[in-house]
């Protein structure tokens, strides 16, 4: 009943999941992979990979090493390596990525800068602050 053999324990891969039906208000910063199937109202930063699932939504900026978007993003994306826009995703914002892969069914409205090293020159503002200035 109580197995003390540590070799049989399953370990998490340190990924964080924002599940469907969950709404987060505020910025998220992680050193590990993130998967967003719910809604985030704020900036999302990871030194690893960010996945926005088909029903996921981010109203804020995304900054990561890699990103795979199949949901909706309203904000800018800064991805150091590979950014994938897949399925019926909708991105409303500017993109800066080392590499970009876009499927024919994806929608992207904004400007794109590719190649070279992607660096953050100035801190990202929250979408709400940026729209209030306009």
Residue (of 89, 86, 34) closest to 62 by Cα position: 34
CA angle 48, 104, 128 (to 5 degrees): 55
- Reading the chain (134 residues) residue by residue, the pLDDT tens digits are 455 544 444 445 678 999 999 999 999 999 999 999 999 999 999 999 999 999 999 999 999 999 999 999 999 999 999 999 999 999 999 999 999 999 999 999 999 998 865 555 445 555 555 555 55
pTM above 0.85, yes or no: no
Strand ranges for the chain from DSSP E:
16-18, 23-25, 28-30, 34-36, 39-41, 44-46, 49-52, 57-59, 62-64, 66-69, 72-74, 77-85, 90-92, 95-102, 107-109, 112-114
């Amino acid at each position: 009943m109580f197995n003390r053999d540590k070799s049989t324990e399953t370990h998490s891969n340190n990924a964080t999941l924002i599940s469907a039906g969950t709404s987060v208000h505020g910025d998220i910063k992680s050193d590990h992979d993130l998967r967003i199937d719910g809604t985030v109202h704020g900036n999302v930063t990871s030194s690893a990979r960010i996945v926005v699932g088909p029903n996921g939504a981010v109203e804020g900026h995304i900054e990561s090493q890699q990103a795979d978007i199949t949901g909706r993003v309203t904000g800018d994306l800064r991805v150091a390596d590979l950014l994938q826009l897949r399925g019926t995703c909708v991105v409303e914002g500017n993109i800066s990525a080392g590499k970009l892969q876009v499927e024919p069914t994806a929608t992207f409205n904004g400007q794109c800068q590719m190649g070279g090293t992607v660096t953050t020159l100035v801190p990202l503002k929250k979408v709400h602050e940026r729209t209030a200035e306009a």
